[in-house]
Amino acid sequence: MAGSRDDKVYITPTEIKTFFYCPRLLFFQLYLGKKMTLKRRIRAKLGSFYHAIKHITNILRGIEAEKDVTLELGRYVLKGRIDALEEGTDKILIHEYKSGSGPRRGAWLSDYMQALTYAFISIRNNSRGKNVIFKLHYRSKTLDFNIDSESVNLLLNAMSDIYIIKKHGVLPDPNPSPAKCSKCPYRDICQSLQPDEALSSWVKSLGSVIRPSHDRED
């Protein structure tokens, strides 16, 4: 079984991100290995380079960078690495860097849920009572978010589904879209499993873009 020890299941914020992009893609990555097209490999290399520059810049500015974090929560262990963290007496800033430019307005839901997972780990570990803000830095814009109970519920639902995927190998429903599926390296096998795409995951109803809390009323 993928990513489990005893009754615990380890989940990374990157897996949360992939789950909200497409739960079935996460299943394929876990059980068939991560496949990447040449374009994706090049983008991953550029992304690593971009992160390395941000890492050095943050160290020079005295900001804690690449911080490993873990949270045990019942049958789950959330484990990941925060790009950068600034902690004050009453406030915590969590920085997540993305080498892409993001959607025209707001942030990709998958990126948002990844960064929210870091905020959730921080709050549960040592930041209760502090104002935790997580910042998504795209190439051309930065968006600030506060953690909210609705998003935490989404995270907990995703963790429950990932537990079932990892522990019991259950194939989740997909979150298909022409844009996603056209560049998915598992498209053939996915479509052979479910050619009519009749079922889709609960993630689909959430849409793919989220706006910052102060901007959602527009």
Which residue shows structure tokens 């109803």?
205
Side-chain-facing half-sphere of 55: CA atoms under 13 Å: 11
Closer CB to ligand SF4, residue 122 or residue 208? 208
Please pick, from the candidates 190, 203, 208, 210, the single residue that binds ligand SF4 as defined by CB under 6 A: 190
DSSP state of 138: -
Closer CB to ligand SF4, residue 123 or residue 181? 181
Closer CB to ligand SF4, residue 94 or residue 203? 203
In the complex, minimum distance from the CB of residue 136 to ligand SF4, in angstroms, rounded to a whole number: 22
Site for ligand SF4 in 124-183 (CB under 6 A): 174, 176, 180-181
Query: Which regions of the chain does DSSP assign to beta strands (E)?
Result: 4-5, 8-11, 64-73, 76-87, 91-97, 107-108, 131-137, 142-146, 209-210
DSSP state of 174: P
In the complex, minimum distance from the CB of residue 177 to ligand SF4, in angstroms, rounded to a whole number: 7
CA distances from 30 to 95, 169, 180 (A): 27, 10, 18
Q: Cβ distance 167 to 3 under 8 Å?
A: no
Site for ligand SF4 in 192-211 (CB under 6 A): none
Candidates 97-105, 140-148, 150-158, 185-193; binding stretch for ligand SF4 (CB under 6 A):
185-193
Candidates 17-25, 130-138, 143-151, 207-215; binding stretch for ligand SF4 (CB under 6 A):
17-25
In the complex, minimum distance from the CB of residue 118 to ligand SF4, in angstroms, rounded to a whole number: 24
Q: Cβ distance 22 to 174 under 8 Å?
A: yes
Residue in 17, 23, 8, 6 with CA at minimum distance from that of residue 161: 23
d(CA 43, CA 147): 29
In the complex, minimum distance from the CB of residue 193 to ligand SF4, in angstroms, rounded to a whole number: 8
In the complex, minimum distance from the CB of residue 111 to ligand SF4, in angstroms, rounded to a whole number: 16
- Binding positions for ligand SF4, rule: CB under 6 A: 22, 24-25, 28, 174, 176, 180-181, 184, 186-187, 190
